[in-house]
Amino acid sequence: MDTPLFIVWQDNYDIDCPILNEQHKGIVSTINSLHYFIQQGHELTFLKPTIDLSKLYMGFHFVTEQGILSKTPYPGLDDDSAQRKQLFSEFKLVSQNACVHRDPDLLMSFLKHWWIKHLTEEHKVFDPYLKNQQKIHHHTSRHR
């Protein structure tokens, strides 16, 4: 049985930072796996390990992203950090509500909206700083 992907990766999601691209693809893959299991009829409570994996993956992704951005002159680092904490709180609440109410669409809609926004809007704000950081890193590593 061929189940369509919930989020289809698009080339315009790529940014000038290979590790972040790989992490983004991994998170999208985890969300797609969760969607697949739901389509196969699994209950959300059964999928708690996959939901937990999503939370962990997103957590270390944001730590990676912040670490990279902290080495740039990006001015929105503190605001982004506060926003991510808020999003994680929402993710936890939505996950719990989706399990209690047996409504996987609640969780999947939240995840899709969050990640598409992260990939298409949030990265547009700080991608120029990542591009500059990549140029600096490439320049200094060539001269060692």
pLDDT digits (tens, 9 = 90+) for 60-108: 999 999 999 999 999 989 898 898 899 989 999 999 999 888 899 999 9
What integer pLDDT is reported at residue 49 of this predicted model? 87
- Does residue 139 carry a pLDDT above 50? no
Assess if residue 103 is contained within a domain: yes
Assess if residue 142 is contained within a domain: yes
Please indicate whether residue 47 or residue 110 has the higher confidence score (pLDDT): 110
Report pTM: 0.84
Assess if residue 102 is contained within a domain: yes
How far is the C-alpha of 33 from the C-alpha of 104, rounded, in Å? 13
CA distances to 4, 7, 13, 31, 112 from 10, in Å: 15, 9, 6, 15, 14
At position 27, the amino acid (one-letter code) is I
Counting the structural domains of the chain, the total is 1
Nearest Cα residue to 135 out of 63, 71, 62, 65: 71
Assess if residue 123 is contained within a domain: yes
Q: Name the residue range of residue 132's domain.
A: 59-72+79-144
Assess if residue 131 is contained within a domain: yes
Taking a C-beta distance cutoff of 8 angstroms, is the pair 72, 130 a contact? yes
Assess if residue 136 is contained within a domain: yes
